[in-house]
Chains A and B, each alone.
Chain A
Amino acid sequence: MPQLQNKLALIVGAGREPGRGIARRFAREGAQLLLIDRDAAAGDALARELDAPFFHADPSDKNALLAAITQATAGAGRLDILVNAAMEEPQWTRLEELPDSAFEQGFAQGFYSALWAMRALQPLMRANGGGRIVNLGSVYGENVAEYIGAYSAAAEALRALTRTAAQEWGADNILVNVLMPTVDDERFRAYHEQHSEHVDTTLPLVALQRFGDPVEDIGGAAVYLVSDDSRYLTGYTIHADGGYHMAGPVYVPVMEV
């Protein structure tokens, strides 16, 4: 049974996972989609697949993003769901060598793009009796942040922004939450291939012992956060990570059962 029939959803960063998986799942659940991404080829491909309009813009460029949002929502005059998933792959650099420009870029992608989109769309949601905003967080921001200082700081700043928006906009029935996924995407598979011994040793420490399928696992959790089911949940972080957030590198016996 489709959970998002007649809902209109804008996905910023729909060109790759997890935004793409979320878009595919939303489409399956009956939502109408508006897609934004910096990668024109990936955006066009998804647009054709889902028969949804694509608006090409770099979300870390404020003017470009706002122009795309205006264009995307002009016809509808409403928006039910906003998903902010514009964070790109981080630079791996030691903190003492990480240039200011990396922080500027990380915050533009991971923090400001969400802020700009949220502020641009809040009036529309408010005028239509409410809405749902899902901001993609990072387990590397919440936990290990080795050599990705800019990326993780931006991801955690987004969580503070989420709480502020939840508190200020709750009276207008705009619900704002963070979805923190572990995604079984190309990047993860490439890492797994390069570091198979490491991944094969540590993945069994995660409760469900895998990273998430973008459509079934992460997309499913995203549907949960924007559907009527979670109508009383705002200001929080939900981990779609198969239990990754409670798997510590602790010394426990491996029990063969």
Chain B
Amino acid sequence: MGRLDGQVAVITGASYGIGRGLAVRFAKEGARLIVCSRTAAKATEMLDEVHAITPHVHYVAADVGVREQIQNVVAEAGRIYGRLDVLINNAQTVMPWTPIEDKPDDDWDQTLQSGLYATLWAMRAALPMMKAQGRGRIVNFGSIFGINGSRWASDYAACKEGIRGLTRSAANEWGRYGITVNVVLPSAESAASKSFRENHPAAYKMMRDRVPLQHHGDPETDIGGAILGLACEEGRFITGETFFLDGGMGISRPVQALQPHMRN
């Protein structure tokens, strides 16, 4: 018996990384899924993995940064399963690192459309179903780069903090419908973290050793578990909260009294 038996979840950006880990974890817990990503060809591995667990998965190729497309993704939950319990807004286009003074407006547009606006559009599309059910769980994605600010990724940082503001506003407005809205800031193993580790091994080790749990998050267990708990009854009184799913990395600052001999 799964902890999400009977529930329907929409997961955006599900082809790889955290989105894929979530799709697999939710499938294992009995959820029925609507998953989307921009490029169908990149979704086949994820879909094979999920299909091996459950037949109840429906894939939509969609650019979440286009209003009609993300609205359609969410509407599929109603059309196919007749309900929507959990909405996970994970998709986000990431533009190249660029100083603020050089970052083109088009980068800002793409970042905000695929992150902030996509999250807003998906939430508004989900509201009528969740409101009618008297219950809903929405999980949005922020970032430590937003919390701390970020060098060379001002668009991303602003977008992610915009999503946090939207999250808390929706939590305030929709709490009376039994809908909780939270934001997670995950730190997961990814292509980017692997490339950083390979190109800057010393810096990587120094940073990783500052993380209390000393490893990057696994999408299915570490990140997926925390989001699963929010979707279950345990999370029913938690709303508007920011979850640092980063093994404690977020309590660290780069220049601290390093005392390696004290560690054991």
Contacts and interface: CB of A to CB of B under 8 A. Distances in A.
Given A229-B228, A245-B240, A236 B251 contact: yes
Interface string B223-259: 1011011101111111111011111101110000000
Contact of A233 (B3, B172, B226): B226
A216 B234 CA distance: 8
B213 interface: yes
User: What range describes how many residues of B lie at the interface?
Assistant: 35 or more
A30 interface: no
Nearest to A220: B234
- Interface class of chain A by DSSP: mixed
Contacts of B236: 216-217, 220
Contact of A217 (B1, B228, B237, B248): B237
Contacts of A166: 212, 248, 251
Interface in A162-205: 163, 166-167, 169-171, 173, 175
Given A207-B172, A232-B246, A1 B1 contact: yes
A241 B239 CA distance: 8
A236 B244 contact: yes
Contacts of A169: 212
A234 interface: yes
A246 B251 contact: no
Interface string B120-139: 00000000000000000000
B79 interface: no
A207 B248 contact: no
Nearest to B172: A207
Contacts of B1: 1
A150 interface: no
B237 A246 contact: no
21 contacts: A163-B251, A167-B248, A169-B212, A170-B214, A170-B248, A171-B214, A220-B234, A221-B235, A223-B234, A224-B229, A229-B225, A230-B229, A231-B222, A231-B225, A234-B212, A234-B213, A238-B238, A243-B172, A243-B240, A245-B240, A246-B240
Given A232-B218, A234-B247, A236-B243, 14 more contacts: A167-B248, A170-B213, A170-B214, A171-B212, A173-B213, A207-B239, A209-B176, A220-B237, A229-B225, A241-B237, A243-B171, A245-B241, A246-B168, A246-B172
